[in-house]
Structure 1
Amino acid sequence: MELLVEVIQSLAYATAWRPLSQSEAKAGEIDRKTQSDPQPLFSVSVKRQASSAESPWKSSAAFHTIFDPEDSNYKVYTTVVWPLIDNILKGENCSFFGYGHSGSGKTHTILGYDFQDTQQLGLCLAAAKQLFDALQSLNKENKGQQLGIGLSVFELRNKSAFDLLNNRAQCHIREGSDGKVHVRGETEVLEGGKVRVRPIVQRPCWEFESFKRVLVQALGQRATGSSSVHDQSSRTHAVLELEIVSQVLLDSRHALYDRQSELVPVGKLATDIRVEEESKGFMQTPDGKWAPNPDYKINQERIDAAEAEKDRFEARVKAAEEDIETVLKLSGSPCLGAKMVFVDLAGAEYYDRNATQMQTIKQAAQERQEGRQINSDLLALKEVMRAWAQNQKRIPFRSSTLTMVLREHFMSTRKGNSGIIVTLSPATEQYEATLNSLKYASLVGAAVA
């Protein structure tokens, strides 16, 4: 895999050329050149074939390192991700995105396909392995809370989320009262009118082998679609969140969920009582206005008692939230609660305006619709990255479901702790898609440089 790494103000950038398959080699290879600029940085120029008379397209100078086609995933990992592992152990958050058209190799890079060969592990598993090695040393020094990794895996398809650790259960994306965007599971109605809204499943793992087993099972739930480019194309955005956790932290969060579920019926009862009393205490006059009902006196004591009970349960929720903060502060491990997020973006879709009718027919209506939604998400992601890197007051997170979900990751990640890996196909028959991927990378790079 030939890879170019770009380091700019806010994002570590990588662009990867995957090897040609045997069938692609017969059709020819894109002519590509890497040019060094004084910074010293590299720019990339491409044209359909070496023999073509067309002028090559040239990217901006932004790429920092070039990997040869025979370089392993592990070498990519040590260059792009490994330098940020220390940041995680210091308590900072990091995020990495895999971007590229269908069949360009981004899933191989982010997730990997060979889960046994340590040299070919995807960036996510390689990071988890190194984190577990570091946590093992910390756990020997710290006889209190033992640290592990909590794994959450979900995918976004069209405008819905699906929990891959819960049999692809459909989830809801909601903005909470705290102003943060949450991915929530189904609402459960419990005894006594309690209502529990579970967050997306997080599976705690205390050793690397169990983590790998859980991740592989989750990825087996991922949806693939009928892309005309790749018959196992990822038609979803997969989000993998790795968080440093302890059992004490997990227990305190479950206690918060219980306190929240207890508050729901109490809060609803207080609202119902207020509405009931006020509806009896006022009456509509013939002219359509509202006036006090002389035949009924509002029972303010009843309202106050219900509100006092609600306040008591709200205080219990607040106390549970404070307990979580206390666990994080007193753990003695700054990395507790730190997150590393990997996003395997759905295959970007481009349409060759010069394609023949037969080539156009290959795409079904559903695939075209999915492609439009994917492209819309990726455009929104570019605009968010641009606004975020430039510290603009308004960042358009609401432009798509994808950017809404990633909002908290962006807001909690320090500049310089994020990276994008743009994967490319060298096949001549995929030249248009490759060119557009390069243009996308160049636009993002120019926006955040």
Structure 2
Amino acid sequence: MISVCVRKRPLIHAECRRGDTDVVTTPGGECVIVHESKEAVDLTQYILQHKFYFDQVFGEESSNEEVYQRTAYPLVQHMLSGGKSTCFAYGQTGAGKTYTMLGLSPGKPGLYALAVRDIFAHLSTTYKYSSLLVYVSFFEIYCGQLYDLLDHRKRLFAREDGQKVVHISRLREVRVDSVSSLLEVISQGTAERTQGMSGVNPLSSRSHALLQIQLRDSNQQITGRMWFVDLAGSERASDAKKSDRQSRKEGAEINQSLLALKECIRSLDREESHTPFRQSKLTLVLKDSFVGDSMTCMIANISPGQSTTEHTLNTLRYGDR
């Protein structure tokens, strides 16, 4: 089961100072409208309205708690009952992906912390689950290569075994026993991710970050798994301030993996005989999350400003497809 949601962030002070106007409206719980300014041949101005419909649409007034309850909470419940869950955050740099996933502070948590809060609350209140252990791993995919964010960016390798199950060899897994210990692991990994980028604005994530939370019994058998995937900024390489060879390579790699992800979801939706998981490292690693007893939610994050209209439309079209 796959659901697609959209979250619009409010205009920030810098955009208001620039005179940027809000061109995105969210009239209902499932509709989002982009009001695009256009110029006719005779130079008269007109507004073109683009309407999109999704499973859920969150306006700028929605809190992380509300977004969590309606997107990731059902995924957490599915994981606790033994299933596989995946939550994606998608959108251009600055659209609010990291705010949605990480939050601002312990007092304003993101989806990571809210999910783990519920996982530990569930484990502590149910006798049946008292013997389960929580393990976390955190790695990034940068230019088609895997790097362990919990082990000094050590290079990792994804390989399929004889049963077509994908394993990531040498991936470090850390056992956590509380929300605070897991957030500590995440902040350690996030710092590694930022430092690992050379010549690129560190605020612009040019890698996909994958956080995996596993439940295991006393025999180390996996009894539930959840992925949080913070996808790389979806802007084109030509939009980068430094459009050098490395930036173009990064952009091409990001676009190729996002296209592969879209193709895999489309193929599964149509129940086609072949799903192209091998088209990118991202889809190969997440193959297990799309087959069998799995639930997936993609949260497309959009900026409301007129200056980012093209990016917003691209994000919404991608989510729509």
Taking structure 1 as the reference length, what is the TM-score of the superposition? 0.65
Q: Tell me if structure 2 keeps the 8 A contact 1:226–1:232.
A: no
Structure-2 residue corresponding to 1:431: 309
Change (3 A) 1:413 1:178: same
Deviation at 1:152, TM superposition (A): 0.9
Q: 2:185 aligns with which of 210, 214, 230?
A: 214
Counterpart residue identity of residue 212, structure 2:
E
Structure-2 residue corresponding to 1:14: 5
Q: Deviations over 1:232-264 (max 9, x none)?
A: 111110111111124x233xxxxxxxxxxxxxx
- The structure where strand makes up a greater share of residues is 2
Larger radius of gyration: 1
Q: 1:397 aligns with which of 277, 297, 305?
A: 277
Q: Tell me if structure 2 keeps the 8 A contact 1:350–1:433.
A: no
Structure-2 residue corresponding to 1:61: 53
Q: Deviations over 1:22-72 (max 9, x none)?
A: 221123124223456xxx8424233148xx8244242343343433x2332
Identity of aligned residues (%): 29
List alignment gaps of at least 5 residues for structure 1. Answer: 1-9, 186-199, 251-323, 325-335, 353-358, 444-449
Structure-2 residue corresponding to 1:76: 67
In the TM superposition, 1:106-121 aligns within 5 A as: 106-114=97-105, 116-117=106-107, 120-121=108-109
Q: Tell me if structure 2 keeps the 8 A contact 1:153–1:218.
A: yes
Counterpart residue identity of residue 31, structure 2:
F
Q: Deviations over 1:124-181 (max 9, x none)?
A: 221011110000112xx24x96223110111000111011121111011222222122
2:253 is aligned with 1:373: yes
Change (3 A) 1:48 1:15: farther
2:108 is aligned with 1:123: no
- The structure where helix makes up a greater share of residues is 1
In the aligned structure 2, how far is the partner of 1:31 from the partner of 1:154?
36
Number of corresponding residues: 315
Counterpart residue identity of residue 348, structure 1:
S
Q: Deviations over 1:92-128 (max 9, x none)?
A: 11111010011111111122342x11xx212122101
Q: Per the alignment, in what secondary structure is the counterpart of residue 179 of structure 1?
A: coil
Structure-1 residue corresponding to 2:122: 134
Change (3 A) 1:223 1:64: closer
Q: Per the alignment, in what secondary structure is the counterpart of residue 56 of structure 1?
A: strand
Change (3 A) 1:155 1:361: closer
Q: Tell me if structure 1 keeps the 8 A contact 2:37–2:45.
A: no
In the TM superposition, 1:163-182 aligns within 5 A as: 163-182=148-167
Taking structure 2 as the reference length, what is the TM-score of the superposition? 0.89
Structure-1 residue corresponding to 2:41: none
In the aligned structure 2, how far is the partner of 1:163 from the partner of 1:45?
39
Q: Tell me if structure 2 keeps the 8 A contact 1:99–1:345.
A: yes
Change (3 A) 1:20 1:386: same
Q: Per the alignment, in what secondary structure is the counterpart of residue 222 of structure 1?
A: helix
In the aligned structure 1, how far is the partner of 2:242 from the partner of 2:309?
18
Deviation at 1:410, TM superposition (A): 1.2
Q: Tell me if structure 1 keeps the 8 A contact 2:123–2:130.
A: no
In the TM superposition, 1:414-425 aligns within 5 A as: 414=294, 417-425=295-303
In the aligned structure 2, how far is the partner of 1:346 from the partner of 1:338?
26
Q: Tell me if structure 1 keeps the 8 A contact 2:89–2:231.
A: yes
Counterpart residue identity of residue 123, structure 2:
L
Q: Deviations over 1:389-425 (max 9, x none)?
A: 22211001111111111111112443xx210000111
Counterpart residue identity of residue 155, structure 1:
E
Structure-2 residue corresponding to 1:302: none
Q: Tell me if structure 1 keeps the 8 A contact 2:7–2:57.
A: no
Change (3 A) 1:106 1:48: farther
Q: Tell me if structure 2 keeps the 8 A contact 1:88–1:338.
A: yes
Change (3 A) 1:57 1:181: farther
2:235 is aligned with 1:349: yes
Q: Tell me if structure 1 keeps the 8 A contact 2:102–2:110.
A: yes
In the aligned structure 2, how far is the partner of 1:93 from the partner of 1:360?
36
